[in-house]
Amino acid sequence: MALVLVALAAAAGIGLARSASDHGRQDPVRAVAAGLRCPACQGESVADSRSPIAVAMRQVVADQLAQGQDRDEIRRWFVQRYGADVLTDPPARGVRLLLWGVPALALLAGGYAAVRTLRPRAGRARPAAPSMPDARGARRAWRVASVGVVALVVSVAVAADRLDPPARPVPADPVAVAVQLAHDLETQNRYDAAAQMYQEALRERPDDGVRLRLAFALLRAGDSTGAQRTAREVLAREPDSPDGLLVLGLAQRTTQAAEAATTLRRFLAVAPAHPAAAEIKRLLAAQPAPGGP
Amino acid sequence: MRRPALRRPGWLRGGPAVVLVLTAVVGTLVVLGLRAPAAPSPGEGLAVAGTPAPALSGPTLDGGHFALSDVRGQVVLVNVFASWCGPCRDELPLLVDAEREWSPRGVRLVGLNIRDGAEAVRALLDETGAKGLTVVPDPDGTRAVEWGVRGVPETFVVDRDGRLVDRRQGVVTRQWLEQRIAPLLAG
């Protein structure tokens, strides 16, 4: 029993030490960033997140470390701006403290009860002689219960390890990755490369949403015939697709101005509240009549 | 008659009651824990009203210079945006319209453009009819972090004395702007 307890405590200690030293050893920016919660994400630390805000926060941490600020000063700086929730381990207060306290108290109480039952007290040994079989039963109950608890903890630990990995491969959907990559390329104004990624994604899984983004990327890359072709593919299935009409009309402007005006008017008729509608109206107003020379 | 007393030492006699109390306590904690995130709404609940706005100064996209301290006396809308953010693209026309309408009464709109390229922003301003907008580029996003920005778009209202009045995460609405700005203009 004592051995089992010592082994459990040792294992817990090793686990804690390992998780604590995990981020301390490497670079100091990561160590501080790991203690900050990314405000734009769900349950990710600033060290792990790829969101632009988290990247900016890492930069701030690096700048402040370079200026000689220490970990606590930087954490305080972030708390002033983002509130205590920005810390991954906010100071325990109120209900949070209770959440730690109650299990600890329960463990202490259980341990005390176990010790009282398992260790026969010298003072009461003689008068309690008739109750010896009961005491033995109680001791047995305690042992069975403690073995049960240990078994439960071990099985949860094993099951948690088994359950974890299958969750990981799911986000690595090649199509989603390709679309995300293409999107990143677009933000860097690399529309050619983005169009290629979209085409790759479409080969894997045809999707009109991705096709429209491909059309926009082609248009921005200067390939207006490719953009027209792609937009027409979408319009063939969904003749009133606002984005399809929009990209087709914009692409036509380079080659057939008259048709472009017609297509863009249709776009305005289909989606008068579209974010681009105001701009298209201005475009059309600036141009001469559609049937002109 | 003595046996039951022997079988159950004094401290065990209250056992069921202790278990009951513990269960009730744990249950209450679980309920509190489940309800906790709803009570203090993170972010939006940050007490910003009345605190001095962080500094914001630097070169602008069109080669000029902007400093928040220079426009003291005006109501300033600070809009954090980026060309890679779709909702920002959608809300810019509304903000530009609001500035156009209220600028005679002392309202100023400033764009804090985070982690973006100059060309991409210019294209966005062209597309959304926001060409005249004062834009302070923040290529590494550190100015935005200084303002406690949680994501784009985010909009701050700064009063005539340079104090934060309110902030809005996500797209602003006409109604939100009117409710925040009208009282500041009246005073």
**Domain-embedded: residue B21:** yes
Q: How many domains does chain A have?
A: 3
| Residues B148, B111 within the same domain | yes
| Residues B26, B114 within the same domain | no
**Domain-embedded: residue A77:** yes
**Domain-embedded: residue B9:** yes
What per-residue confidence (pLDDT) applies to B87?
Answer: 92
| Residues B85, B160 within the same domain | yes
Q: Which residues of B touch A56 (CB under 8 A)?
A: 114-115, 140-142, 144-145
Nearest to B157 by CA among B53, B82, B84: B53
**Domain-embedded: residue B108:** yes
The answer to whether the beta carbons of residues B146 and A53 sit under 8 Å apart is no
Say whether A283 sits in a helix, a strand or coil.
helix
A40 has a pLDDT exceeding 90: no
What per-residue confidence (pLDDT) applies to B29?
Answer: 81
| Residues A151, A242 within the same domain | no
B1 has a pLDDT exceeding 60: no
**Domain-embedded: residue A66:** yes
**Domain-embedded: residue A199:** yes
**Domain-embedded: residue B99:** yes
Inter-CA distances, B95 with B32, B86, B128, Å: 41, 15, 11
| Residues B177, B135 within the same domain | yes
What is the per-residue pLDDT across A242-268, written as a single tens digit (0 to 9) for each? 999 999 999 988 888 888 888 999 999
| Residues B14, B78 within the same domain | no
B83/A53 Cβ within 8 A: no
| Residues A182, A250 within the same domain | yes
**Domain-embedded: residue A209:** yes
Report the C-alpha gap between A182 and A200 in whole angstroms. 10
A51 near B CB under 8 A: yes
**Looking at this predicted complex, what is its ipTM?**
0.77
Prior bond of B153 cis (ω within 30°): yes
DSSP H or E run through B135:
strand B134-138
At A74, the amino acid letter reads I
Of A56, A275, A282, the CB nearest to B144: A56
* CATH number of the structural domain spanning residue B164: 3.40.30.10
A81 near B CB under 8 A: yes
Residue A255: which residues within 8 A CB-CB, separation 6 or more?
Answer: A224, A225, A228
Report the C-alpha gap between A190 and A182 in whole angstroms. 9
A106 has a pLDDT exceeding 70: yes
Q: How many domains does chain B have?
A: 2
Task: Tell me the nearest-neighbour CA distance from B127 into chain A, angstroms.
Answer: 6
Inter-CA distances, A42 with A46, A169, A177, B167, Å: 11, 19, 20, 21
Q: Which domain holds residue B25?
A: 3-38
* CATH number of the structural domain spanning residue A212: 1.25.40.10
**Domain-embedded: residue B113:** yes
**Domain-embedded: residue B31:** yes
A85/B7 Cβ within 8 A: no
Task: Tell me the nearest-neighbour CA distance from A204 into chain B, angstroms.
Answer: 26
| Residues A149, A205 within the same domain | no
| Residues A179, A277 within the same domain | yes
| Residues B31, B74 within the same domain | no
What is the per-residue pLDDT across B155-165, written as a single tens digit (0 to 9) for each? 999 999 999 99
Report the C-alpha gap between A46 and B170 in whole angstroms. 20
**Domain-embedded: residue B44:** no
| Residues B81, B155 within the same domain | yes
B7 near A CB under 8 A: yes
**Domain-embedded: residue A47:** yes
Q: Give the global pTM.
A: 0.52
Q: Which domain holds residue A51?
A: 24-86
Burial of A259 per CB tally in 10 Å (0-12, 13-18, 19+): middle
Nearest to B152 by CA among A187, A113, A283: A187
Task: Tell me the nearest-neighbour CA distance from A206 into chain B, angstroms.
Answer: 23
**Domain-embedded: residue A74:** yes
| Residues B143, B180 within the same domain | yes
